[in-house]
Amino acid sequence: MDKTSGEFIVGRHPIAEAIKAGREINKIWINEKGKGLDPDLLKVIKEQKINFQFVPKQKIDQLAGSTTHQGMVASVAAHRYATVDELFNKARAVDEQPFFILLDGLEDPHNLGSVLRTADAVGAHGVIVGKNRAVGLTSTVAKASTGAIEHVPVARVTNLARTMEDLKSKGVWIVGTDADQKQSFQEITADVPICIVIGNEGKGMSRLVRDKCDYLVSIPMRGHVTSLNASVAAALLMYEVYRHRLQIGD
């Protein structure tokens, strides 16, 4: 029998209805043998660019918690996603220059939760994440954010590079990080609409996202490791923007 369980929707019919209703879906797992797969449903999944993966039946059994899943399980968002316009509206409501964080391929839910927690602490107006190959708003993220997920809107977009172009057209300056840059993160210009970009935990920013940044800054390091944890790097940059804005306010 089809069913919905926690942050998972189990069964092709409930999944099809969830897609039809516009429910935010993080990922769909499909039996690699294709048993019972509706080709029309797969077509819709592809057309809407929903992240999906073919896996062994045992994996679906594990996710569903049973063997009665019709060969499909979907992970759904634990919270509603915002639109990018809603992020701008939040900044406008408090009469502040927009302050966003864009995450390029962040995969660890604990890192996303930490980013949300810091974003709330510094008064950022929202976080932007990609739709594919990135963690969504799961219950683990909600727990790691220690409640910040209720206060920091997260917009989920299909194309990060296009979204960056849209942000720039609205006057937002986009800042990425690069260890080889001479300009330190302490030289960020914060009295303008700004969006900080944080890359994937292992690969960093993708080439396309990097190329769309207005400028890059480095985080000076003197130890033996070559990079910081993504959420730690994000926290340093967010607090630098916050510090600059406090000084400007004074």
d(CA 148, CA 129): 16
How many CB atoms neighbour CB 183 within 10 A? Answer: 13
Q: Are residues 231 and 126 in the same domain?
A: yes
**pLDDT recorded at residue 43:** 92
The whole-number pLDDT of residue 36 equals 65
What is the mean predicted confidence (pLDDT) over 139-152?
Answer: 86
> Within 10 Å of residue 192's Cβ, how many Cβ atoms?
12
In the predicted structure, residue 250 carries a pLDDT above the cut 60 = no
Cα separation, 196 vs 104, whole angstroms: 11
Mean pLDDT of 1-8: 51
Domain count for the chain:
2
- The mean predicted confidence, pLDDT, of the chain is 88
Residue 6's pLDDT is what? 47
Shared domain check, 111 and 22 = no
- Give the pLDDT mean for 91-97: 96
pLDDT at res. 66: 79
What residues contact 195, with CB distance under 8 A and at least 6 apart? 98, 99, 100, 101, 102, 128, 164, 167, 172, 173, 174, 175
3-state secondary structure of 22: coil
Token digits of residue 176: 């990425």
What residues have CB less than 8 Å from 94, skipping those under 6 apart? none
Q: Which of 46, 76, 106 is the last residue of a domain?
A: 76
Nearest-CA neighbor of 151 among 196, 195, 129, 119? Answer: 119
Q: Please tell me the predicted confidence (pLDDT) of residue 90.
A: 96
Question: Based on the domain organization, do 95 and 163 belong to the same domain?
Answer: yes
What would the mean pLDDT of 117-141 be, rounded to a whole number? 92
- Which of 17, 45, 76 lies at the terminal end of a domain, its last residue? 76
Convert the pLDDT of each residue in 40-86 to its tens digit.
999 999 999 898 999 998 998 898 887 778 889 998 877 889 999 99
- pLDDT tens-digit map of 205-232: 999 999 999 999 988 877 767 678 899 9
Closest to 124 measured CA to CA, from 97, 144, 150: 97
Q: Which of 20, 5, 134 is nearest to 76 (CA)?
A: 5
Q: How many CB atoms lie within 10 A of CB 208?
A: 13
Clarify whether residues 60 and 107 are in a common domain.
Answer: no
27 pLDDT above the threshold of 80: yes
User: Which CATH number do you get for residue 11?
Assistant: 3.30.1330.30
The answer to whether residues 117 and 150 touch, using CB atoms and an 8 Å cutoff, is no
Domain with 29, as residue range(s), is: 3-76
Give the span between the Cα atoms of 164 and 56, in whole angstroms.
37
Q: Which residues of 14-43 are buried (b: 16+ CB within 10 A; e: fewer)?
A: bbbebbeeeebbbbbbbbeeeeebbeebbe
Q: Work out the average pLDDT over 161-188.
A: 91
What pLDDT is attached to residue 79? 81
Q: Does residue 94 sit in the same domain as residue 68?
A: no
| Nearest partner of 175 among 118, 111, 98, judged by Cα | 98
pLDDT at residue 64, as a whole number: 83
**Mind listing the pLDDT tens digit for each residue in 183-203?**
888 888 889 999 999 998 888
- Is the confidence at residue 1, as pLDDT, over 50? no
d(CA 113, CA 8): 19
Which tokens belong to 94?
């408090």
